[in-house]
Structure 1
Amino acid sequence: MSEANEQAYREAKKLYAKHGVDVDAALEKLAGIKISLHCWQGDDVKGFLFRDKTLSGGIAVTGSYPGRASTPGELRADLDKALSLIPGKHKVNLHAIYADTDENVDLDRLEPRHFRGWIDWAKERGLGLDFNPTLFSHPKAEDGFTLSHTDPEIRKFWIDHCKASRRIAETFGRELGQPCVTNHWMPDGFKDTPVDRWSPRARLRDSLDEIFAEPIDEACNIDAVESKLFGIGSESYVVGSHEFYMGYAMSRGKAICLDAGHFHPTEVISNKLSSILMFTDQLLLHVSRPVRWDSDHVVTMDDELLEIARELVRGDLLPRTHIGLDFFDGSINHIAAWVIGVRNTQKALLRALLEPIEQLKQIEAEKDYTSRLALVEEFKSYPFGAVWDYFCEQSGVPVREDWLNEVKTYEKEVLQKRGQESGVLQ
């Protein structure tokens, strides 16, 4: 530990202690929060199961930054590099199209053995794995409908895929000793205003009921359902709306996934957290940054991220919340995007953990709103950065922007050679 960082940490502790904040306890809690790194940032959502397919289902990645992963081994190496620059022990979130296999297998026939490389890799590193069925970029999803499709054969294909995904996730949880969160999102919807909003939702409800009817060990697998307001090709109507999934999850005992980018551009999810968890046991949180629409930008420490963190900490909601990232930016270094996103999420959580919450609640109960506002604002400039630097150094990862040097070196020594060796412009 450098003398300068340790001294700054000791001085910060003194300031926080004046308000009853236990900084060591805050860092211990932060170290136990797992954040799930989404694998699809590493290769622009290409996957490995159908290498010749283009993105569909309202998903688009802009930018062509060189060096994206094109094999499971490359993607795992990139994740290793990113995780080495992030304090704490975390998870990795896989989509079904990231199967590590040479077999010619379709989505509805996937099995745990097709992910053996991922399981062994995660087990060796003490990581958890999360999972997602992939209901896009497939011929049976080309018209924009999957689990709510009018064709029963197409619906059956997607139902079987989701069932297979849950079995894979259960294996992840069992072998890795920590629950796998399986998130179900599908792009179903209309570009223009439909006449019949009811029937697609009835079909989606029935499809989900059939998927979840198969018994799964809930100690190994946690099911979540994810809503969306609109997307490319579903601007006017999304079958799986927020209200649909809120009702479904609450009535079926499933977790609700709130994605920060899946609502109206002026709508935020921070104010929804306490309401949702008032009536559900668990929540999946996808941390993203929308810019005018669900454009999945790299997470910055903006006002909404800070407010999400405060809500989770102030309401003691962290034990029931699973946090994962969800963005795909092909315009910058893929590894840097992960590091920036996770470290910003951790910084926001740390800032919330360093608030004098009980003192603020007492002041609020006494209706001293002047003091409440004054203290909340003053704490925004308290030296959380000194605490963060100490946490990073204590965790054996680079302090401040020093991590960027390692990413640049990795880019020069590894990423830039990928396109040259394959002879393909990535």
Structure 2
Amino acid sequence: MDQSIINSYNEAKKLYAAHGIQVDEVLEKLAQIKISLHCWQGDDVKGFLFKDKELSGGIAVTGSYSGRAGTPDELRKDLEKALSLIPGKHKVNLHAIYADTEEQVDLDKLEPRHFAPWVEWAKGQGLGLDFNPTCFSHPKAADGFTLSHADKEIRSFWIQHCKASRRIAEYFGRELGQPCVTNFWVPDGYKDTPVDRLAPRMRLKESLDEVFSEEIDPKFNIDAVESKLFGIGSESYVVGSHEFYMGYGLTRGKAICLDAGHFHPTEVISNKLSSILMFSEQLLLHVSRPVRWDSDHVVTMDDELLEIARELVRGDLLGRTNIGLDFFDGSINHIAAWVIGTRNTIKALLRAMLEPVAELKAVELAGDYTSRLALAEEFKSYPFGAVWDYYCASQNTPVREQWLAEVKRYEQEVLSAR
């Protein structure tokens, strides 16, 4: 390791130690946090199960940057490159349409064997896997409804797909020795104002109850349910609203997924974390950047990301929170998007862990709001960057922007040939 990095780190440690922060211990704790990288950033949400399908269900990818993955092997190779530039050991989040099989199989017939190559790859890389049923971009979702569809036969198809997804997730968890988080999101809703808001929600509740009726070992699978405010084609009404899924998750013992882009443009999820985790055992985060609501831009270290990290650290909530990324930017290098978003998420957590939380809580409890504000503001310029550089170097990953040269080299040698 470069001596200047070590020297800067040692000087930073002294400053933090004056406030009781043991930086070496912080880095040990940081190294245990797993971020789930979403596979769909690598190929613009195309997947491999159906050829030449069009995206639907309120999902759109903009941009035509070259080099996206076109096969499971290409996607795995790209993920390996991205993960080599990100400190720590993490997870990969798969959608059902990313099955690696030559067999012609529909969503309701998927089995663990269709994902066996992913499991063998994850074992070799020392990674965990998360999972999602794909309730969009399919003829049986063409009118915008799946689990809440008025047609019982169509509902049954999606129920069977979601049941199959839980079995696949349990297989992931059992094979890899760590729980797989299975997230359930459906696009169901109306473009214009409906007459009956209740009936679709009753159907969704009944469908979900049927999906979760099969016993799946919770040691290997964690179920999560995800809400949305509105979408393309469901601007006026979404069946699975925040209130619906908060009630469903709390009464059914499911983790509630909070996506940073799935709320009102002036609403933030950081302020919801402590409230939900008072009543729910676990939480799933989809960390994204909603420039104009759910636009799913690459995560930057903005104020909301920092507030999310602070809430998790200050409330000691990290152990009950599963952190995943969810963005799909087709306008920039696909691998760079993963690296930027994941490194920023880890950086934000590090910054939060390097704050004098106990001291800040003590002065707040004493009513000394002057000291609370002064300390919080001064710590914004403390040398967390020196600690970050040391952490990256100690994890054998590039320091600062050095990773970009490696991505550019990979683009020239690998991506440009696709």
TM-score range, shorter chain: over 0.9
Q: Do structure 1's residue 192 and structure 2's residue 192 form an aligned pair?
A: yes
User: Who is 2:3 aligned against?
Assistant: 3
Offset at 1:208?
0.1
| Equivalences for residues 167-316 of structure 1 within 5 A | 167-316=167-316
Per-residue CA deviation, residues 85-117 of structure 1 (Å, 9 max, x unaligned), is 000000000000000000000000000000011
Structure 1 CA distance for aligned equivalents of residues 266 and 360 of structure 2: 28
In the aligned structure 2, how far is the partner of 1:28 from the partner of 1:285?
22
Amino acid at match of 2:268: V
Matches within 5 A, 1:145-184: 145-184=145-184
Shift of 1:231: 0.7
Letter in 2 for 1:333: N
CA distance in 1, matches of 2:326, 2:172: 20
Per-residue deviation, 1:125: 1.1
1:328 aligns with 2:332: no
The residue type paired with residue 209 of structure 2 is D
Question: Are positions 1:15 and 2:21 aligned together?
Answer: no
Measured after TM superposition, the shift of residue 224 of structure 1 is 0.1
What is the CA–CA distance in structure 2 between the aligned matches of 1:354 and 1:215, rounded to whole Å? 41
Q: What CA distance in whole angstroms lies between the structure 2 residues aligned with 1:65 and 1:257?
A: 30
* Alpha-carbon distance in 1 for matches of 2:193, 2:24: 54
- When structure 1 is superposed on structure 2, of 251-260 and 21-30 the one drifting more is 21-30
Letter of the structure 2 residue corresponding to residue 252 of structure 1: R
Distance 1:236 1:25 in 2: 49
1:11 is displaced (CA, Å) by 0.3
What is the match of residue 393 of structure 2? 393
> Is 1:413 paired with 2:392?
no
Name the residue aligned to 1:339: 339
CA shift for structure 1 position 51: 1.4
2:90 equivalent in structure 1: 90
Matched letter for residue 282 of structure 1: Q
Deviation at 1:292, TM superposition (A): 1.5
**SS of corresponding position for 1:380:** helix
- Counterpart CA distance in 1 for 2:100 and 2:68 is 17
Aligned counterpart, 1:133: 133
What's 1:365 paired with?
365
Match of 1:123 in 2: 123
Letter in 2 for 1:196: D
1:404 aligns with 404
1:133-191 Cα deviation digits (max 9, x unpaired): 00000000000000000000000000000000000000000000000000000000011
- How far the C-alpha of 1:293 sits from its partner, in A, is 1.6
Alignment correspondent of 1:353:
353
Shift of 1:59: 0.3
Please give the secondary structure, in 1, of the residue aligned with 2:414. Answer: helix
Shift of 1:355: 0.5
Percentage identity across aligned positions?
80
**AA of the residue aligned to 1:248:** Y
Per the TM alignment, residue 52 of structure 1 is displaced from its structure 2 partner at its CA by 1.6
**1:182 alignment partner, SS class:** strand
**Paired AA for residue 385 in structure 2:** G
| Residue 60 (structure 1) aligned with residue 38 (structure 2) | no
CA distance in 2, matches of 1:329, 1:33: 25
CA shift, 1:336, in A, is: 0.2
The residue that corresponds to 1:424 in the other structure is none
How many residues get paired?
418
**Cα deviations across residues 281-306 of structure 1 (Å, max 9, x unaligned)?**
00000000001220100000000000
Structure 2 residues not aligned, in runs of 5+: none
Distance (whole Å) between structure 2 residues aligned to residue 367 and residue 292 of structure 1: 38
Give the 3-state SS of the residue equivalent to 1:208 in structure 2: helix
The code of the aligned residue for 2:34 comes to: K
What's 2:30 paired with?
30
Secondary structure of the structure 1 residue equivalent to 2:381: coil
TM-superposed CA distance for 1:400, in Å, is 0.2
- 2:301 aligned with 1:318: no
TM-score by length of 1: 0.98
CA distance in 2, matches of 1:358, 1:25: 15
Structure 1, residues 193-238: CA drift from partner, whole Å, max 9, x if none? 1110000000000000000000000000000000000110011110
Partner Cα distance (2:186, 2:117) in 1: 26
2:275 match: secondary structure:
helix
**Counterpart Cα distance in 2 of 1:234 and 1:18:** 53
AA of the residue aligned to 2:242: H
For the pair 1:51 / 2:51, whether they are aligned, the reply is: yes
Q: TM-score, normalised by structure 2?
A: 1.00
| TM-align CA RMSD | 0.4
Instruction: For 1:357, give the aligned amino acid.
Output: V
Distance 2:191 2:389 in 1: 48
Looking at structure 2, the residues matched to 226 and 134 of structure 1 have their Cα atoms a distance apart, in angstroms, of 13
**Structure 1 residue 363 displacement after superposition:** 0.5
CA distance in 1, matches of 2:185, 2:143: 16
Shift of residue 66 of structure 1?
Answer: 0.2
Give the match for residue 99 of structure 1: 99
